[in-house]
Amino acid sequence: MTHASASTPRLSTPLLPDRANPGESAAGSGSGSKRKSLFSSVLGNVLEWYEWSAYAVFAPFIAAAMFNSDDPVSALLATLAVFAVGFLMRPLGGVVFGHMADRHGRKIVLVTTMLMMAGGSLAIAIMPTYGAIGAWASVILVLVRMLQGFAHGGESATVYTYVAEIAPKSRRGLWGSVVFVAIFGGSVLAYAVAGGVTTVLSTSSVAEWGWRIPFVLGALLALAALYMRRNMEESEVFHAHKSAAQPAPAVRAKRSGSQVTRAILLMIAMTSGITAAHYTWTSYASTYAITEKGMNPDTAFWVTMVAQMIALVSLPLWGMLSDRVGRRPMMISFSILMIVVSIPLNAMITSAGWTLLIASAAALVIVAIPGALLAAVLAENFPTRVRTKAIGFAYSISVAVFGGTAPYLNALFNSLDVGWLSGAYVMTLCVCTAVACVMMKETKGIDLKDA
């Protein structure tokens, strides 16, 4: 607690105007309106990630409600497969909404995706169960998750772009870390609600109707965030790009097409290890402790929430450090650390809550290193004219293929008594992350208006 409180003043100061560099302050404005825009965009992102995480947290209960419960393992795998299906829609959403953001602005996409996620959350909250309408319950759930995945792909890409573009270039790592604060914050909120629901209600009540509570809350809170997003300012980098004279399409394609393609491939590889580690420890670790190790659900939820709060506190510190030492050294450090600790941390989890706390906290603080840098790194590697679309495709592909499938693969490996493959899977992808980072150029401090 002392560490967190000591960090609080330092989190607010960098979000003020950068007085030492007036030109930069104009470009990455630290005015009150920009701070409000930052807050509105990140708050909406918190709520989107809350709903997204709530599905994973309540996966065992949703499995019993929406699928044939005669085979609990099969039902759980089916639920996690639906989780993965939502991720598979994200690349399409990233490209479609990314194209919209690059042509018409970032704000319109952030409002639209917020509305879609709110509707999806409400649909899950009120939909009938397998016992009421049979397999149609499973079909509806799949369709809703596909819609949410489509919206989430556009949301993630646009938020990364928007926050990086409004940030002072010398503090882009710090400002960008706020996006992952939102990701962890949404997950923490989901686990807090889950802990409250499972503590107050009996297991039978949670299984019967209590699992719907977080989705009702998600829909209501998302509408509040939608109202706030209406008053966001458009990115000045986007305005500058649209008002500047543009070269002919053929010249533009020849000049930057191959560079964009190379950057997309590097970003997919770079993100693979990050997203696999992130979803393993935020979305599956508690499910693993409950279903495989016999941990009480409320214990697992509260412990995971605390671990994520510890990681959340570290994010701005990693962001500030990247503004000093650069992006590449920190990304490579993450890869090495995760390769070393993946299997030992998996192995230490038992039915005792403290084992999950230590393992999850250690893993998530390491995951926070690249998480804090993602907004800056992704934005700095693409030109303004295709930035959101390229981020939407590269990031969503990597998250869909390597992150969204991680909970399913982990559950599958454990059901086949080869749980060690979970750690090996993350380790292999972290090698890909390290190789991509070695091949990347250092981008700390570049001017996004010139990109």
Q: Three-state secondary structure along the chain?
A: CHHHHHHHHHHHHHHCCCCCCHHHHHHCCCCHHHHHHHHHHHHHHHHHHHHHHHHHHCHHHHHHHHCCCCCHHHHHHHHHHHHHHHHHCHHHHHHHHHHHHHHHCHHHHHHHHHHHHHHHHHHHHHCCCHHHHCHHHHHHHHHHHHHHHHHHHHHHHHHHHHHHHHCCHHHHHHHHHHHHHHHHHHHHHHHHHHHHHHHHCCHHHHHHCHHHHHHHHHHHHHHHHHHHHCCCCCCHHHHHHHHCCCCCHHHHHHHHHHHHHHHHHHHHHHHHHHHHHHHHHHHHHHHHHHHCCCCCHHHHHHHHHHHHHHHHHHHHHHHHHHHHHCHHHHHHHHHHHHHHHHHHHHHCCCCCHHHHHHHHHHHHHHHHHHHHHHHHHHHHCCCHHHHHHHHHHHHHHHHHHHHCCHHHHHHHHHHCCCCHHHHHHHHHHHHHHHHHHHHCCCCCCCCHHHC
Give domain status of residue 10, yes or no: no
pLDDT of 318 = 97
Question: pLDDT: is 307 or 291 the higher one?
Answer: 307
pLDDT of 437 = 95
Give domain status of residue 7, yes or no: no
- Interval 339-353: pLDDT, tens: 999 989 988 999 999
Question: pLDDT: is 193 or 314 the higher one?
Answer: 314
Give domain status of residue 302, yes or no: yes
Give domain status of residue 11, yes or no: no
- Interval 217-226: pLDDT, tens: 988 888 877 7
Domain range for 286 is 32-240+257-450
Question: pLDDT: is 109 or 34 the higher one?
Answer: 109
User: Over 80: is that where the pLDDT of 153 sits?
Assistant: yes
pLDDT of 291 = 84
pLDDT of 348 = 92
* CA atoms of 421 and 144, how far apart (whole Å): 31
Average model confidence (pLDDT) across the chain:
82
pLDDT (mean) for 90-99:
90
* CA atoms of 114 and 100, how far apart (whole Å): 15
Q: Are 168 and 175 in contact (CB under 8 A)?
A: yes
Give domain status of residue 361, yes or no: yes
* CA atoms of 45 and 186, how far apart (whole Å): 8
User: Over 90: is that where the pLDDT of 376 sits?
Assistant: yes
pLDDT of 48 = 79
Q: Give the domain CATH number at 379.
A: 1.20.1250.20
- Interval 276-297: pLDDT, tens: 999 888 878 888 888 888 898 8
User: Over 60: is that where the pLDDT of 15 sits?
Assistant: no
Question: pLDDT: is 49 or 331 the higher one?
Answer: 331
- In 3D space, the residue among 124, 121, 101 whose CA is nearest the CA of residue 111 turns out to be 101
| Domains in the chain, number | 1
pLDDT of 10 = 36
- Interval 234-263: pLDDT, tens: 777 877 877 765 554 544 544 467 888 999
pLDDT of 42 = 81
* CA atoms of 449 and 444, how far apart (whole Å): 14
pLDDT of 83 = 67
Window from 213-222, 271-280, 399-408 with minimum mean pLDDT: 399-408
Q: Are 28 and 149 in contact (CB under 8 A)?
A: no
- Interval 167-199: pLDDT, tens: 888 889 999 999 989 888 888 888 788 888 888
pLDDT of 275 = 92
Window from 2-6, 149-153, 203-207, 423-427 with minimum mean pLDDT: 2-6
Window from 219-233, 314-328, 435-449 with minimum mean pLDDT: 219-233
Q: How far is CA 47 from CA 61, 219, 222, 408, in A?
A: 21, 9, 6, 24
Window from 2-11, 98-107, 233-242 with minimum mean pLDDT: 2-11
Give domain status of residue 27, yes or no: no
pLDDT of 21 = 41
* Structure token digits, residue 111: 């409002």
Torsion of CA 339, 345, 347, 349, to 10 degrees: -160
Using a CB cutoff of 8 Å and minimum separation of 24, what contacts does 112-116 make? Answer: 112/151, 112/154, 113/48, 113/151, 113/152, 113/154, 113/155, 113/158, 114/44, 114/47, 114/48, 114/155, 114/222, 114/225, 114/226, 114/229, 115/226, 116/147, 116/148, 116/150, 116/151
| % of the chain exceeding 70 in pLDDT | 87
Backbone φ and ψ for 11, nearest 5 degrees, come out as -75, -30
pLDDT of 12 = 37
Q: Are 322 and 379 in contact (CB under 8 A)?
A: no
Residue 273 confidence class, pLDDT cut points 50, 70, 90? very high
Question: pLDDT: is 160 or 221 the higher one?
Answer: 160
The answer for residues whose C-beta is within 8 angstroms of residue 437's C-beta and 6 or more apart is 270, 328, 331, 332, 335
User: Over 60: is that where the pLDDT of 403 sits?
Assistant: yes
pLDDT of 6 = 35
Give domain status of residue 290, yes or no: yes
Residue holding tokens 């109707």? 209
Give domain status of residue 305, yes or no: yes
